[in-house]
Structure 1
């Protein structure tokens, strides 16, 4: 999963490669994002849906780091997305029992029967 730090880095690299103003998102290149927001969080990064408007619990009022600033820049890029296509039909399996297992797994509600089914694969 892509996080805000990686997205900010991608934006900087594209802007540098295209020799464009850093204020132009992704150097003016059209970018297509796709994925499953219900999968795992990004490793060592902040999720794309992070809300920076919420108060941060901090022990001190430090100046934001460069990384934190870039994460906020990336979040503003995400908020500029102007077209979303939401796929609603599951295409991974036709096995109803396995599909129901996947739904329970997504919600953290697996049971012993799910465990038994996974042992058969």
Structure 2
């Protein structure tokens, strides 16, 4: 019997694919990553792979917003905040960028698994 395996970046709160109840844990995690309004759409609650696609696009939109925030932070904020505050804001954008990269990877892994991909440990 093959032991369940998940790759690096798999969300800790989601059971491995193939384990009983794994799709329910995936759905719960994905809903936690989504805007609260997503919970109100029955199609997203009934079809977890569709939910995964919606969440992936939502995270990608967040990544685009962070890229824009980083690119314009110093120029836009310099007239309304002191230099230390501007640099602190840039560090927040950078932290958010790193968080979203990890979140996007986790969502992608779940979406692939929901579409049938199974991960195998490699030595």
Greater C-alpha Rg: 1
TM over 0.5: no
TM-score, normalized by length of structure 1?
0.30
More helix per residue: 2
TM-score, normalized by length of structure 2?
0.29
